[in-house]
Structure 1
Amino acid sequence: MQQDKHPDYHPVVFRDRAAGYAFLTRSTATSEQTIEWDDGETYPVVDVEISSESHPFYTGKARTVDTEGRIARFERRYGEGTHQG
């Protein structure tokens, strides 16, 4: 078995500054910046622009598509009996 095939996989903190949220996980990502974690250890920290704490899909602030309005507009434009369903 060849030894140098796997990338360096180590603990890393990902920090979402917009949400004020950080989490410790394992990754191949690297960073020159470090942070002291709750366990007293120091880990590399990677700042991300968006995470599950700030993404609209996970926070429930995602926009919904107005499908009823689109159907009504279609029926007004093409007549109510034109679509086969």
Structure 2
Amino acid sequence: MKKDIHPKGYRLVVFKDMSNDYAFLTRSATNTKETIMWEDGNEYPLIKVEISHMSHPFYTGKSVFVDTAGRIEKFKNRYAKKK
């Protein structure tokens, strides 16, 4: 294995899924300016994520329909002209 390729300074960090407010504590070297008070009464750095295993359709088994910026309508309009 190559030496000195992994970051130094791992510490406990809270990752928070913004879609459902699920949070978990783990070790990371990612930098952040935000902090959060955790269940144990200690304050930890906070990393906000869009999706985690608690909200991802693969892990939850639920299909989520998300229409961002009218992509579906654009697709339908583009290919409706070809009929």
TM bin, normalised by shorter chain, reads: 0.5 to 0.7
What is the match of residue 29 of structure 1?
30
Say if 2:7 and 2:29, in contact at 8 Å, map to a contact too: no
Q: Distance in 2 between matches of 1:56 and 1:26?
A: 25
Unaligned residue ranges in structure 1 (runs of 5+): 64-85
Q: Distance in 2 between matches of 1:62 and 1:27?
A: 30
Q: Distance in 2 between matches of 1:62 and 1:23?
A: 23
Which aligned pairs between 1:69-80 and structure 2 lie closer than 5 A? Answer: none
What is the match of residue 43 of structure 1?
44
Letter in 2 for 1:51: S
Structure 1 residues 18 and 6: alpha-carbon distance in aligned structure 2, compared to 1, 3 A threshold: closer
The answer to whether 1:55 aligns with 2:56 is: yes
Unaligned residue ranges in structure 2 (runs of 5+): 1-5, 65-83
The answer to whether 1:8 aligns with 2:9 is: yes
Superposition CA RMSD, Å: 2.2
Give the secondary structure class of the aligned counterpart of 2:36.
strand
Say if 2:13 and 2:28, in contact at 8 Å, map to a contact too: yes
CA shift digits 1:6-36 (9 cap, x unpaired): 5110000000010110000001112100000
What TM-score, normalized by structure 1, do the two folds share? 0.64
Structure 1: 4+ residue segments shifted above 3 A:
none
Structure number with larger C-alpha Rg: 1
